[in-house]
Structure 1
Amino acid sequence: MTDACHYHSSSEAAWQCAPCQRDYCADCIPGAAANYPKGHPDCPLCHKPLAYVGASNSARPFWQMGLFFFRYALQPGPLTVVALAAGAGLLIGGLGLLSIFVLVAAVALVTRYNLLVIERLAHGQLPAPGFGDALDGNSAPLFAKVIGMTLIAGFAGYQAARLGTGAVQIYSIALSLLAPAAMIVLALENSLRAAINPLKLLHFTVIIGWPYWLLWLATSAVSAAPELLLAAVAKQLPQWALLPAIAATTSYFSIVTSAMMGYICLSRQQRLGISAERDDDAHFLDERAFDCALALAQSHILLRESDFNGARRTLVDTLRRYPDDPVLNERYYRLLLVTQDKKALRELGPHLLEKFIRMNRAHKAAELYLATDPPPVIDKSFLRHQLAEALYRQQKYRPAALLLNNLHKDDKDYRQLDAAYLLLAQVYLDGFNREDMAKKLLAFIKQHFPDSELKQQVQTLQRVLAGTSIAST
């Protein structure tokens, strides 16, 4: 079952802190490893390195991935391997003694690619490796280890045969059950000793749990597919096509079973102690974006942990570097609201609201102003005017009127007083149906601002009021 983030219940966990027993999502731990000074993110609480668990945590259960495994083997890398295997099968018939070398080389390459598939999927890399990734010089050593495993298994079987038929049957069953575990251990540890250690293989199956037996059933069924398929079509194929068909189908289904083995490890990464790999290129952020995202994430976590002072320090430190970031400013204002810091709201509230106005976020300033109880005292006429306009657009007529009332007495030199009182007239008319107050305000504008650029709008509103009065009589 997918683990959820401790601080965002609707998000999957991507990071884990064992000491704190906390799971974090990508929003809690933003950016890539390169964004962090140590090359990896630390826990926001205990400051110890985090373990990446995103790949395994987001992995669907093994039994739901049937089509994925068959599509996996149809990617360019696997298809190249299948094509080369088929080509090798075609060449074998006409090369004489050289065909032995071609056969060994082809089997070694397919074996190396299958082990690479297991390794990559176990570490969380869902795209299939390219064919070139298998040309790393490890094909011969790994193939030799596989041969060594086969010889050791044969020798153990020979020894079991000396004990009787019952021992052979028991050994055959055990060999069949532990074969997938042996291939997985070889792929992950690159060690023949580990791959033939029965205690290690049994321990591996215990860690995987019951899905391992499902894996065994699935790989057994898929491994039998080439024989069944060829038996059905062999009579329809020309003689020269039999070996290529056998090579192609065998290599294809071997990649399918390898994908199954790798994916079962992916789903149990944490239990197996496999370090997940992350595509950091897609997560890297530039300095400003990372600093802001980190401050927002850490302040959210500290708030949830009731460390209000720590959250505030985090935001203030980042705001000193990026004072005009709207999201940081909003988070800081909301922090003051949550902590009910009335002194800070009284002293800093107007300054923060003005920031939003100047950042063309008047709607956000109005929202935060309404959320503040009691509302902060606004001294600046420009701010009162802009807030009132935003509140009017949101149909919050009463607070808009309170901001604009008696503005001419508080600041008679305000340059946009005509616009402010035209707005107030609209507030009284639309919000309170007070035609009398609207008319008084329009008359005030005409008297004190005869050359106002808003003269036409004032006259239009007066005509509307005159038409309303006639209609009512």
Structure 2
Amino acid sequence: MAESCHYHSSADASWQCRPCHRKYCGQCIPGSSANYHALGPECPLCRNPVEYIGASNNARPFWQMGLFYFHYALKPGPLIVIALAAGASLLISELGLLAIVALVAIIALVSRYNLLVIERLASGELEAPAFTGALDGNSAPLLLKVVGMILVAGFVGFKLLPFGVGVFAVYVFILSVLAPAAMIVLALEHSLRAAINPLKLLQFTLIIGWPYWLLWLTTSAISAAPNLLLGVVAAKLPDWAIGPVVAATTTYFYTVTSAMMGYICLSRQQKLGIVAEPDEDSAYMEEEQFNRARALAEAQVLMRESDFKAARQALVDGLRRYPNDEALNERYYRLLLATQDTKALQELGPHILEKFVLFNRSHKAAELYLATKPAPPIKKPEIRHALAQILYQQHKHQLAAQLLINLHKENYPQLDAAYLLLAQVYMDGLNREDLAGKLLQFIKQKFPDSPLSSQVDSLWKVLNSAEDIS
């Protein structure tokens, strides 16, 4: 089961800081390594480099990926290797003495490619590598190391023969059990010494745990598949086709077992100490977007850790660069609320609320205004009007009225609209029809050509009809 981010329980962790014992998601540590330049992503708490764990943490259990392995071996890269193996088997019979050289070359190429499959999957790369990846000059050295593993195993078996058939049978069983571990270690470390070290291989199996036994059983069964298949179809094939069929099926199932070995390493990536790289292309952010996201993320982490001073500094730094960023302004306002910084709320609150009104986010401004105790002093009439409109819609009539009273002293160009709203507040929420009537008369006198005249007349009729009824 995937481990969750320490700060976002619904998100899978992508990074971890070992010193802080914290796991982070992509929201806590946004962007890619390229966004952080040479230093790479770092922990918001201790500033040490963090380790990418996203690939292994998001990986499904090894035993739930059955179809994946068989589909994997049918991707373009593996199919090219399979085709080369089949084609080479046709040509070998025509090459005479060169057949041995050609056979060794194709075995080396197939072995290199499948070791590359293990290596890439272990690092979290789920797409099969391109065929050209095997043409890196390591085919021959790795083949020699595979041959070296076989020779060492054979030599030890030869030395055990004098001890009886029982001892030799136990040795053969142990060899078969450790064979997948040996191939994985060779793929990851490119070291013959490590691949034949029994203690190293035993440690590897213990780290993998019981899924290793499932790996051994499945790879053993799949490795036997080419012989079983050949026994079924050999009589139905012409002689010239047997070689290519054997080569193709053997290579295909070799790739399937390699994919299994690589994926089981992916599922235990952290325990095996495998360093993975994130998908840089999908995670990379443009500089401005990244800087904003990072300031928000660091502030949130620091706030959750109650380091409000550092969180405030992170937000201040972000706001200096992007003073009109909506998310940064909201996070900063909420930090002031969380720390109950009354002085800052009274001084800075009105300016931040004004920004939200200008962002056309009056509802957010009203939400923050209501959360502030005591309410910040709003002096600009247009901001008071905008807040009052939202508060009226939310049935906060008393607060709406307080914001609209005495606006005629502010030389506000939309005073007719503001006082029409105030009249509605008095009528609908405060039962002050007398004050509502005075406001409507004021609008009629001061703004005879107001575009709101029809609304004023309608409200006046409603007011008069209510008085007649009473």
Count of equivalent residues: 470
Residue from 420, 423, 426 that aligns with 1:425: 423
Distance in 2, matches of 1:39 and 1:46, equals: 14
Identity %: 66
Could you tell me how far 1:118 is from its partner in structure 2? 0.5
List aligned pairs for 1:187-226, cutoff 5 A: 187-226=187-226
Distance in 2, matches of 1:459 and 1:233, equals: 95
* Counterpart AA for 2:449: D
Deviations 1:329-363 (A, max 9, x none): 00000011111111111111111101111122212
- Match of residue 306 from structure 2: 306
The secondary structure found in structure 2 opposite 1:376 is: coil
List aligned pairs for 1:41-190, cutoff 5 A: 41-190=41-190
- Match of residue 324 from structure 2: 324
List aligned pairs for 1:207-356, cutoff 5 A: 207-356=207-356
Distance in 1, matches of 2:114 and 2:396, equals: 67
Distance in 2, matches of 1:398 and 1:235, equals: 94
The secondary structure found in structure 2 opposite 1:36 is: helix
- Match of residue 12 from structure 2: 12
The secondary structure found in structure 1 opposite 2:91 is: helix
1:90/1:451 Cα in 2 relative to 1: closer, same or farther (>3 Å)? same
* Counterpart AA for 1:455: S
* Counterpart AA for 2:417: A
Residue from 453, 456, 464 that aligns with 1:455: 453
Distance in 1, matches of 2:438 and 2:234, equals: 99
Unaligned runs of 5+ in 2: none
1:234/1:394 Cα in 2 relative to 1: closer, same or farther (>3 Å)? farther
Tell me how large the CA RMSD over aligned residues is: 2.0
* Counterpart AA for 1:95: L
1:97/1:385 Cα in 2 relative to 1: closer, same or farther (>3 Å)? same
Does 2:444 align with 1:446? yes
Contact 2:30 2:293 survives alignment (8 Å): yes
Could you tell me how far 1:92 is from its partner in structure 2? 3.0
Unaligned runs of 5+ in 1: none
**Structure 1, 285-294 or 166-175: larger mean CA deviation:** 285-294
The secondary structure found in structure 1 opposite 2:163 is: coil
List aligned pairs for 1:376-455, cutoff 5 A: 376-408=376-408, 410-411=409-410, 413-431=411-429, 437-455=435-453
1:110/1:446 Cα in 2 relative to 1: closer, same or farther (>3 Å)? same
The secondary structure found in structure 2 opposite 1:83 is: helix
* Counterpart AA for 2:242: L
Distance in 1, matches of 2:70 and 2:441, equals: 80
Contact 2:39 2:49 survives alignment (8 Å): no
Distance in 2, matches of 1:238 and 1:394, equals: 84
- Match of residue 357 from structure 1: 357
Could you tell me how far 1:95 is from its partner in structure 2? 3.4
Deviations 1:107-137 (A, max 9, x none): 1111111000000111111111011111111
Distance in 1, matches of 2:216 and 2:428, equals: 74
1:82/1:450 Cα in 2 relative to 1: closer, same or farther (>3 Å)? same
Could you tell me how far 1:457 is from its partner in structure 2? 3.3
Could you tell me how far 1:165 is from its partner in structure 2? 0.6
Deviations 1:150-206 (A, max 9, x none): 122122221121222112101101110110011011101111111111121112112
1:102/1:388 Cα in 2 relative to 1: closer, same or farther (>3 Å)? same
Deviations 1:307-346 (A, max 9, x none): 1111111111211111100000000000111111111111
* TM-score, with structure 1 as normaliser: 0.94
Distance in 2, matches of 1:232 and 1:406, equals: 97
Distance in 2, matches of 1:44 and 1:431, equals: 49
Deviations 1:6-58 (A, max 9, x none): 11111111111111111111111111112224431222212212111111111
* Counterpart AA for 1:173: F
Distance in 1, matches of 2:465 and 2:110, equals: 89
* TM-score, with structure 2 as normaliser: 0.94
Deviations 1:422-447 (A, max 9, x none): 22233344545765554433222111
Could you tell me how far 1:97 is from its partner in structure 2? 3.2
